Every structure is written in C-alpha cells, then in structure tokens.
Structure 1
Amino acid sequence: MFVGRTDELHTLNDTLARARAGEPQALLLGGEAGVGKTRLVEEFATAAGRHAVVAVGGCVEIGADGLPFAPFSTALRALRDALPEEFAAAARGQEEELARLLPDLGEAGAGRHDEQGMARLFELTARLLEQVAAEKPVVLVLEDLHWADASTRHLLAYLFRTLRAGRLLVLASYRSDDIHRRHPLRPLLAELDRLRTVRRIELARFTREEVGRQIAGILAAEPDPARVDQIFERSDGNAFFVEELAVADCDGNCTGLTDSLRDLLLVRVEALPESAQRVARVVAEGGSTVEYRLIADVAGLTEDDLIEALRAAVGANILTATEAGDGYRFRHSLVREAVADDLLPGERSRLNRRYAEALEADPTLVRADARVMRLASYWYHARDAAKALPAVLDASVVARRRHAYTEQLGLLERAMELWDSAPTEVRSVLRPVDCAEVYPPCGCDPATTPLRYLDLMAEAAVAGRFGGERERALKITKRALRLLEDDPDPLRAAWFWVQRSRLVQAQARGDGWQELATAQDLVRGLPPSEVHAEVLALAANWSMVHRPGPEAFAAAERAVEYARMVGARDIELHARLTLAGLKVHSGDTETGLAEMRQVLRDTLAEGVHAVAGRAYVNLPSELQSVGRDGEAAPLLREGIVFARAYGLMDSEAWMRGNLSESLYSLGQWTEAAEVATRATGVGHSAKPRGAGALRLAHLALARGDLAEAGRQLAAARAHWGTHDPMPQLSLPLTRVALGVAAEEGRIADARAELLRALDVGFPPGTQRYGWPLLRAAATVEAEARTLPAARAGSAEILDRLREAARTLATGAPLWQAYDHWTRAELRRAQGMDTVDDWSPVVTAFEHLDRPYQLARVRHRLAAALLAVGGDDERDRAVELLRLASVVAVHLDARSLADAVTRLAQRARLTLTRTPRAALASADPAEALGLTSRERDVLRLVSAGRTNRQIAEELFISPKTASVHVSNILGKLGVSGRGEAAAMAHRLGLFPAETLPAGATP
C-alpha cells in the first residue's frame, strides 16, 4: 500500500507533463536512507509507463571499483530494448564512441585520448537521448547518486546543463544524510541548485498518521494506537525503520531491540537459518547485485542447500531476485551495508579471494563488460598484491577506453600503492603498453621494456588532467620530478615538466612558461624525439599568444621539422598551425592563411579532431585580425557544428566568442549578444567562457549600458584571472575598462588603465588588439579636451599614444583605417582636426564591412564639415549624419545616436530629406554612399525579393541582408522597401536588362 507523498507525486507528474510537451526536464530527489525514495520512484514509474518509456539505472556502492557510467549503461540498455529502432537510428555512425557507455553496441574504438575525450562522449550521449526522445517521451531514472562514480556525476551534470530538446525527463535520486561536507556529490548538488532548469525534491519522513497507515498496510489490519505511537517514536517516521519495527513486533522480536541502527538492521538477518545468513554475507561482499552462478561458486553449498538458503533470505524480505532473474541483491542497501560491516577483516578478504578465484576460473560468471572491473576489485580487497596489481592495471585500461579518466586515476593510484608489495617477478613481466597509451616516449620499445613506477605516474598524471583532477595530477608530477632528480632521465623529466606546465595554467597557478623553459633546457642537444617535438611545439604556441617574435617562429619551424622526423603527425599539425599564425602576424598574410586552410583540411581528412578544433578557432581569428569578418563568420558557424559533433566544448566556446566578435563588426548585434551569451555557458574551462563575457561587455558599452558592461567585464576578469596575462586577453579587457571608466567620467582611471598597457607594450603581432585600444584612448582624450580636470597630464598621454602608434603595423586595410582614425582623434584632442583629417578615415572604413565604425567616423567628419560652414558642407554633413543615425538606431547604439542627435540639433539640421546631390549626380548610387554590396541588395529589393531570398542569392545570412536593407533605406531617406524600389527606378540605378528574370522596374 502506497502511503502519502501526494505533493511529491504531483511534482513528478507535472514534470512529466512538461517533458511530454517537448520541454526536457531535470529533477533531483533527495532524502535520508530508508525514507522511501525508491518506493516513490517505483510508484511514479509505474504510472509514467502508460505514457512514456521508463529506463532505470542504479549506481553501485563500490564506486571506483565498479564499471564507470554503470547507471547510464543499465538505463541505456533498457532504453534500447524498449525503442530498438529509434535507438539504432540515433546511434547510427557513433556506435564505436557510444560503446564506451553501452558495450552492447560493440567494441569501443581506440579513438584519441585528450582533455576533450570525455566531453565528446557526453555530447554524443546528450544528442542520442534528445533524438530517441524526439517523439516518444522517455523517463531516465538514475538511483543512488550518492554512490555515483565521478564520470557518472560529470555526465549527469552535463546533461542537466545542455539538454534543450526532446521529450525527456531525467530523474536522479540520492541519499541526503550521506552527503557530508567532503562528499564528492556535494559540489555537484550546489552547482545544480544554481540551474533554473533543475527542480529538487527533498523527501520528508512520515507523519504519525502516515506511519499508522503504513503499519496497517503491512499488517493488513488496523494497528493498536499505542503500538503506532511506540513505532513512530522509535522510527521517527523513517519508512524503512517503520517496516522493520512493525515486522519485528509482529514476529514477537520487538522486546530487547537496541536503539543501535546496525542492530535494528541485523535483527532479521540473524533470525535466518545459518546457511541463509552465510549466503547473505556472501552476497553482501559481492557487490550491489551478484549473479546466481557466482554466488553458487563462492558459497560452497550444495545446489539444494543454496536454493533453500536463498529461499529463506528472499522469504524474509532480506534478498530479492533481479528483474532478469539471473542474480540477487539486498532488498534495501542499508541491510547490505550492515551485513558487510559485520564481517570480520579476515572473513572479508577470504570472501573477496573466493570471488576472484571463481571469476578467474570461469569468466562467464559475470557480464563481459563488468568482468575486468569486478576482478580488480575482488583481488584488491583480497589483499593479494601479486594478483591485484595486474588486475588493477587491466581495469585502468578499461576505464581509459570508456573515457572514465577519474576512475582510471583512482585505479592507477591503487597500482602505485600495490607496486612495492608486488613480487619482482610480477612487475618484471608488466609492460607500459599493457597499462598506458599515453606513454612518455623515451627512445625504447614499450612492448618489450619493463614497466616502471614512473610509467604509472605518467599515465596517472595524464588521467588526472583529462578527468579534471588537476590537483591530484600536480602532486603526482611533483613526486615524479623528485624521483627523476635521483635517477636522471632528461626526456622523461621534460615530459613531466610539460604536463606540469599544462596543469599550472589550468589551475591558474601561473602562465606555465617556467615549466616549458625547463623542459626546453632538458631536451636541448638531444636527438629528435616526440617529446622534443612536443616541447618545441608548445613553446612556440605559448610564445605566439604571449610574446610572438623570431624565437617563436624558430621554435615552430623546428617543431614541424622534428615532428616530421619522428612521425608525430598530431604534433606536426599543431606546430604548422602555430607557424602559419605567426606568418600572418609578421605580415605574410596570404601565405599564413593558405597554410592554415591546408592544416584544417588535413586534420579533417585524418580525423585529428583536437587540432581541427583549434584550426576552426585560429583560422577565423586571423581572418578577423585583418578585417575579413565576412569570411570568418561562416567558418566559425561550420566550426561550431564540428565542435558540437565531437564534444570540443572549449573550442566551441572560443568559436562562439569569435563569432560574436565578427557579428559585432558586421553590424548584427542582436545575434552577437545571443552567441556571446551561449559562449559563457558552453565551455569546459574558464578562459573560453571569459571570451563570451568580454563580448557582452563590449556590446553593453557600445549600447550605453554601463552597469551591464561593468558586470560582464568583472565576469571576464574572473574567468581569466591575473596569472596568465596574454595580450589577446589583457588588451581587449583594458579597452573595455577604459571605455567604462571614461563614460562614467573617471578620466584618471581611464588613463591609468591605458598607462598600464603602454608600460607593458605591444608585442609583435598584437596590432589587432593594439589599434582599437589606442583609438579608444585617443577618443577619450578628445572627448575630455574641454574638461578642466583632464588638462593635467593630457600632453604626456598624447605623446605616449603617438609613440605607441608608431610601433604598430599597418599592413592590413583594417589596421590602416585604425591608424588614420587614431591620428584624427589625436588631432581632435588638440582641437586641430579638420575635414582633411577625417575624410581619409571615412574613405578607409567605406571599404570595410563595419557599419558601426563607419557610422562613428561619418559623425566625426560631419562635425568637421559643419565647422567649415558653407551650403555644400552642410548638405554633405546632413547626408553623413542621416546615415550614421540609421545605423545607430538599427544597432541600438544609444551613445552614438545621442551624439548624432545633439550635433544635428546644435547645427539646426533636419536629417530626413534626400540630398540634392544624389539626384543630380552622374552616378546616383555613389552619391548616395551605396557600397557595391548594397547596390546588389537594392537590385534584389527592387525585384521584390525577401531578406531570406536575398541572403540565399548573395550567400549571406538573413540578418546581414536585413542590416544592408536598413542601411539602404537610411541612405535613400525612405521609409520602406517599396519606396526604395521606386527611387531606384526613378534614379535609373538598374536598367531592365540587369534585373532578375520576371522583375518589373
């Protein structure tokens, strides 16, 4: 009889209704042990089964000893059995990767092991669930989350954060009283509490009335009120304790019961026949669920005696058969824990030995996908180092192949613990290739070289880095380097210093250069090797983003050469990508971009996903650096699709940050904000998420929302920290901080931000970030020129800006445009700017697809024209201000819009009329200021095309087409597309023969 839980069931049913409507749901169910979580889930699942597919998986108590992702494996197996066609369609093409979660799909591919391996698996799992649940509602139940391995916790968190589609409900339960301050589930619960998409239920104990109803259901009779009061008082409303006390009372065993929880839980076990108690002890040590044949081998009873013992344990509600009918488990985990805790130390190790021996003798006793892990656990707890060491190493390989790197780390730490205890003859036959794919090359053959303790440490360090256990990995590298001081091995030491560099950067402990420099010293003069190539490639990449120059160029070239010599293709591609980027920075733009495109093609063809992800970040970034955002944006969209397909979450975050920057430059600010917001939540690491925050800060500043700009600036700084001041991060941060300070009237703070950047200087290749900063600082000085508080120190600032501008390259049209703009602003800061200063700035930006910057410099040129006076100058100023106003309104750039309005009001100008010059010009389109792309768009507008049709014909996005149309309407001074078409006809812009077929001029 199901008692109470009306409100909780209502919440569960409401959540299911939302999921059935197509809105994925996530729900956490917490409560103390025995309070009735499983019973509530069973009641809900039974009812939900009428409308949805319910797939249940449970975590196993043995944690790192068990199969990683165990609850997901079980639940996915049930889901595949229930929806075989839908599951097969959703998994098609990704079976090798998904086999890491569900071995039934086949042999997991060897794949590549890197920091994104787990993320790739998680992304594929999320897409699988979304597709399977596209039509038929699915309820995925994961029980006993307090026992979950780290990989299961990470996957669950990922699903809760990223599921956006499908008729899916993910329900996870956990024991709240087990979640102590240092429990690994505690940080996850805190993180999930911050997600608005996750609902949480805490199951309370029963009231006195509910306890009475529960007892009545157990006894099938109305209980004595006094006995209800007594049981309620002793159980405190815990449903499981109520049941135990009620049954004990019914059996006449209530007298003499102690208040000890263990005694309460063991009382019914101790009432069993001796053979049944023996079987209970065997099952308790075998795991959460134990197969019948395995029990039979370990228990040492005849088949008839074993059946009778199991019957007694099942009849007493101690054990229950599994749904598949192939094994047994304790009806409640609390009883199993009590029985296991009651075992004597020698008894426990003896049972584990018997389990291990039985499994070695007949591997078919358990499922193939769990065999290696179970055997490693049994031998380890049997305290037999000779058997446990190779078994634990085999289990670590299984964990690695499943991308369960945290579990792999735990197993390797066990191997290190067992190392000295294992006999020499056991260690001597172990090989590095048996336990590690990430083997530090040392010029020897890992298939014939004996395994060393340092090899275990190397694999453990990498597992810790890949699994996010960076603090543990740092400690391992520190210990390894101490050992190498006593037994020098330069290549191994260099390899560990490389790992330490990566970990130091990831842990925000520094920029990692000192560690890389030490590795370079160690390999200097040694023959070419994979370690040598990797050290050079990483040093070149570090230098490219920190202090690019001749040394970085030389290191990249040598890295390519060494990688080719030793056949390290991944390292070669990494180094080629770095070298190509350095070529762009040095001014050899087209050669560098061509090489980057070739690296992207090579990595995609060869399946080197990590380098392809980096190429999808770096190639568009270099295109952006020279002002070719129109080429960068489609590449970035393509890259985002690639990154999502392969779980490259950090790469996706960088791509989204860069795409937001391109969209900002192209005048698509609404989409730029959406993309940047997504970037702040998708990254695996902090730095990539900071890129999205910076873009949001930049947008907010341009729109005049200083409070939001300040918040996002603080968020970006928090993500990036101060430990690794890369120019590509620090200079844009300074630019926004300077702008916020100036807008708030804090000129001294703005100057302080600038001076800190100028004191550091602009390394070669940083003109992309340097020019916008110098221009922004020059604008601040020009705006503050008339302020008394800004006069002191102004001359020094202007001199510093001029000096800095002389050091920056101008080899790209965008950089030349910023050079002209900065110099014009510096002249304005002295009150000396003229039309001749601003005309080349406007001309330069008219050849670039950057509507906001063009609108700003048109505003400045208009001000210079109005200062001259004269009718022609006023007419031209009106045209320029009208064009700037249209862009400012379209982008919601309030500061620019206000500045344009104020200037027009001061000059008593009206910004709505069509310039006379445009109607009289020999080339009206040129007089109207239409770019060649705007002429193409206007031709299609005149033909009656929609924005989407225009986008398809011109190979641009609909939003870009919309921006062009808005700009055209402003330049023509008309209010709609029909008027624009009429004016184009009246001005004779498009003869009939140039219009698309079927169009009427």
Structure 2
Amino acid sequence: MCAGHRHRGPTCWRAPDDLVSEVWLAELARLLPELRDRYPDLPVPSTDEALGHSRLFEAVARLLQGWAARRPLVLFLDDMQWADTATLDLLLYLAQSLAAQPAPILLLLNLRTGADPFSDPQPTWLLALKRTRIALTTLVLTPLTKEETQHFVQAFVWAEQQPEAGNTSSTDGCPDSGGPSTFREVLAAFADWLYVQTRGHPFYLTETLRELLEREIIVPSFQQNGTWGLVLRSGVLEQTPAGELIPASVRELIRSQLGQLTPPAWSLLVAGAVLGEGLTFEQLSRVAQLEEETGLQALEELLRAGLLCEGNLAEEAQALDGYSFPGEMMREGVYQEAGATRQRLVQRRVSLVRQDEVEDDQGEQTRLPHRAPLDGHAPAETRKRQGRRVVAPAASRGRRGMRWALAPDACGVLSRQPGTSIGEKTLLAAWEEDAAAQAASASPRSPPRRPA
C-alpha cells in the first residue's frame, strides 16, 4: 500500500490537506516518513501502541474516503495469504468503516487457500469480514480444465509449420509414430503435455511457457505474409527431460511450500513422488514408515496444502479413494528436492512394500513380479487383491536374472534374502547400479502422442 502511495507521488500529495487534516497526516507519516519533509510542522503522533494502531487505521480510512470522494477507487491487494496480522486488522477496520460510511471503493483481495505461514488467523479473519455486513462477493478461481488449456494454447499466434524432412518421428516428439503429424495435432499434443505437467495451474502454465521461450523451444518467427508467429520446436522438446523444464520461479514456490511441512508430511510426500501414480494411504504410510495416526495427520496436512489431491480410483465395481499430485511438475519437483540418497532409500522401501504385497497374495499369483522401476516415473499397473486396490510394479527395466526371496525371521517379520543370481553383491549395490543405468530415462519426455 505504501508503494502505491509513493507511486502516485506528486499528483497524490499535491494538496493532502484537502483530503485529511494535519492530525491524520501525522499518523500517515508513520507509513510515509517523506510527508514530514514536505510538512515539517506536523504534530507528533501518539506514542501509545494500542491507540496508535487505531489512529493509524483511521487515518488510512479517511485518506481512502477522500480519494473516493473525487473519483471511484479500486484497492487491489494480491497474495493475501502472506499478509501479517497487522495488515489483516487494517483491512478489517477499512471494511467496518465502509460499512458505516459507504463510499465508491472496491476492495479486491486475492487469497490463495492452503497451508501457509499465516494461514491460522485466516478463517477467523474471513468470518469477521463477513460480519461487517459489507457487500462481499467470493469468487473461487479453479485451475484451467484440459479443454481450457487447449483453448489457451491455441489462442497464441502460431506460425504454420511443415513436418521436418527426413524426420523419422512425428513432429509431436513421439518416436515411432508411423509418419508426420499435422500442425494442429502437434499443437494439441503440446497442450495436452502442458496440462499433464501443470494441471491447468495458471502460474505454472505461464511460467512454463516463458521457460520454453527462454530455452528457444518456442521461438518467434517472421512469416512471409509480414506477420510474426510462434514456432514450436518439438524435436528439441522431445530431447529435453521434463525435469529440466521446471522454471526457477515454480521451483522456488514448490520449495517454499515444502519448507512449511512437518517431517512426517515431507516423508509421506517423498514416498508419493517415488511411487508415482495410483497412490493409496496404506502404501504411502508403509513406504514412509509412519504409524497409522501419524500418517493420517501427515496426509491431511498435504491435502490442506494442496500438495496432494483426492481422487476416486475405480476398479471394476469398486470405487476406492486414491491420491495424486496436482501435476507432474509438482511430483518431479518434490522428487528432485528429495536428493539422490533419499531417493535410493525410498526406492528400496517401495520395492520391499510391493514384494510384501505379492507375498501376501501367493495363492493368487504364483511368481514374483519384476521389481518396481527405480525412477518412479513409469505408469503404475493395477490388479485386484483381496477386495482392495493394489498398485503393481511396471515392467522391469533392470536385470532380468535378479531374484529376491522373502523369509520370516525369528520374530516372524519378513526379511530379504538374496537369490542365487545376486552373488556376493548387496541389494543396495544392485540398486545403485540400476539407478545409474536408468538415470538417462528418469524423466518423462515430450508430449504423448494423441490417438488417431
């Protein structure tokens, strides 16, 4: 607010005594010390802290009402989820003042819901704001749908592109496509890829497009008709891992959100990042090694923060609750923030949990499946086991000859026993070798090919 006052500068303070008296100017000088340079004879403001806040709030209200008397005023405050208690108190005072003395002032507040540093007072503050009886309209802004993302991308001025000569893959970046695609198909596939990465989050979407421009994956081109258009270099996009395309601004936002998590919630989130898709509460808790109640509290924390989303996973006649990340970009960001050591540790836990699930169902499946992919990116397959949904590992990309055996110890707990094909190597060493071999394919690539 102070920055807005300073921006208006000469026109705003040309005759401030026409708006408020010197008594209130003295209070405003606490926010804008430069007022005393122009009016050195202003009285000293109150030194009583409690009274001083009330007088300062009244001075701001009188100033806004003075401006609104000259012309209608719009006061827009963004990112209110970061507002401190003093700012919330000031806005509540303004609302009460406008309810008592109506003026042509529109207070436009942008508030992101979720778990933030100052989220605790928000529910009480919003309730108090409604009780002021000021005309209040709430608009819930949801992420773009897949169709809206398509329209958003198509609204740009794109240059018509011809398939590259000698290209053995389609222009949408998918190898073995059987022939070149039209430009409309390329653009549609690109929009689908953007939606998978961002789930329609406007900030993620715009920042990703800006990142693609900076990396010259999207480039402006001067056309023969004398106009400019955008060109999508789908081949470059295909060769760039999606994990490298997370914009720095998005990465910083994700990092700030992760920094607010409790240790159990962080462990549960990393477990989900490694598991990938088809997340269930049981799997998340077992991989994160959390007790049921602790895991439930961690899950609720992640849902409140918007770092995980609830979803219904239908399997035959059953509809079971499942969870997913709000976009592949979020999952990839969490996975990278976990670090290599934690990634390997959680990957081993994922494999053991899935092996235990198989052992519990020996009567239905006679052989162990291949191990889960190390990178957590491959889509999960599903199978039915004892009336509940289980995510089975995707086809193994590791050594086919490796075998694991699970044997109960003296306490009846299943422990790992190396198979004959492992030799003298430990399981950790085997995991590290596979992780190194699969590092090149750890990140998803370009947009998926659209079905014909």
More strand per residue: 1 or 2? 2
- Range of TM-score over shorter length: 0.3 to 0.5
Structure showing greater radius of gyration is 1
